[in-house]
Amino acid sequence: MTWYDELHRLGAASTHQLVAAGATPRALTAAVRAGTLIRVRKGRYAPRGTPAPVLAALRAGARLTCVSAARSYGLWGGMDARTHLLVPKHAGRSAEEPGQVRHWGEAEHGEIWRVSLADCLRSVVRCADEETAVAVLDTAISAGLTTPRRLPIAFLREPARSRSIAARARPGSDSGVESILRQRLTCRGHLVEQQVAVAGVGRVDARVDGVLFIEVDGYRYHSGRDAFERDRVRDLGMALAGGRRLRFPASLVLSDPDGVVAAIEAVLAREDVTLGNAG
């Protein structure tokens, strides 16, 4: 592995890290001049094409934290598009730049541009709204970055509020949107089972109160002709199996979650009437 490979593995690196990986001052200077390497600030380098939030953290002598760090780990980041930075306590108190949120403190060891995963999850719970925080934790479990058993350990020394929020995390949400819908329905007293296997169909995002299947379609996986045809085949399989299903676009769950919950409850109410008539 070359020093440039090591740089890509780390996402960004210090001069010390690159020299330890085999770089020389001349090689670094040549790479900067060639445009393949960005010298973000003294002693800090990043490869060409590095995302803007990472560069912002390096320029500020900070690390990505909260939902910004969560996105860098491939987790749900909620609707807050601002760049959250953890700035060392001893750093100068310069004014925040537009679109930035600065948190002051220290963190565990991690990359030079973001906090560790454990610090990321703790900071999200402290900073974000509760619904977003639980969604981030849910996606961390689904991504295999933590487990329901290991997660409480990361919050042992956190305040009671943080421990309470962490205890609400559940496996089964492949996206933050699915988690949000699960939380909304659960708060209304509904039983929500996630990633339910249906014969001839495969796994369905959720089943509510044991009778109504719910699918949440994100654009990334449900755009294009192939995805459209795959979804129609799944709908046909569900119909043949006698299952009741509602399909919602993720954008609608985000923009009008109360409306989506109301629609689900309206269908469930009709289901209750049908069952009552059948009895």
Q: What is the CATH number of the domain that holds 234?
A: 3.40.960.10
Render pLDDT for 16-45 as a digit per residue (tens, 0 to 9): 999 999 999 999 999 999 999 999 999 999
The average confidence (pLDDT) of the chain is 88
Res 99 pLDDT > 80: yes
Q: Answer yes or no: are the C-beta atoms of 216 and 248 closer than 8 Å.
A: yes
Q: Specify the range with the lowest mean pLDDT, choosing from 37-51, 53-67, 167-181, 217-231.
A: 217-231
> In terms of domains, do 40 and 131 share one?
no
pLDDT at 243: 63
252 Cβ contact list (under 8 Å, min separation 6): 259, 260
pLDDT at 118: 95
Domain assignment present for 83: yes
Q: Which of 166, 190, 218 is the last residue before a domain boundary?
A: 166
Domain assignment present for 34: yes
> In terms of domains, do 20 and 32 share one?
yes
Indicate the number of domains in the chain.
Answer: 3
Q: At what angle do helices 176-187 and 130-142 cross, to 10 degrees?
A: 120
> In terms of domains, do 46 and 58 share one?
no
> In terms of domains, do 65 and 33 share one?
no
Residue 27 has φ and ψ, to the nearest 5°, of -65, -40
Judge residue 208's burial from the number of C-beta atoms within 10 Å of its C-beta, 0-12 exposed, 13-18 middle, 19 or more buried: buried
Task: Indicate the SS3 state at residue 84.
Answer: strand
pLDDT at 232: 55
Task: Indicate the SS3 state at residue 131.
Answer: helix
Domain assignment present for 66: yes
> In terms of domains, do 39 and 121 share one?
no
- 90 pLDDT band, cuts 50/70/90, is confident
Res 279 pLDDT > 60: no
Render pLDDT for 114-168 as a digit per residue (tens, 0 to 9): 999 999 999 999 999 999 999 999 999 999 999 999 999 999 999 999 999 999 9
Domain boundaries, position 139: 54-166
Q: Answer yes or no: are the C-beta atoms of 218 and 226 closer than 8 Å.
A: no
Among the listed residues 56, 63, 45, the one whose alpha carbon sits nearest the alpha carbon of residue 106: 63
Q: How far apart are CA 232 and CA 241, in angstroms?
A: 14
pLDDT at 181: 97
Res 188 pLDDT > 70: yes
> In terms of domains, do 27 and 69 share one?
no
Among the listed residues 102, 24, 143, 101, the one whose alpha carbon sits nearest the alpha carbon of residue 32: 24
> In terms of domains, do 110 and 205 share one?
no
Q: How far apart are CA 45 and CA 28, in angstroms?
A: 9
What is the DSSP code string of 180-232? Answer: HHHHHHHHTT--EEEEEEETTTEEEEEEETTTEEEEEE-HHHH-SHHHHHHHH
Render pLDDT for 196-255 as a digit per residue (tens, 0 to 9): 988 777 889 999 999 999 999 874 433 444 544 455 566 656 655 556 889 999 999 999
Domain assignment present for 193: yes
> In terms of domains, do 58 and 160 share one?
yes
Domain assignment present for 171: no
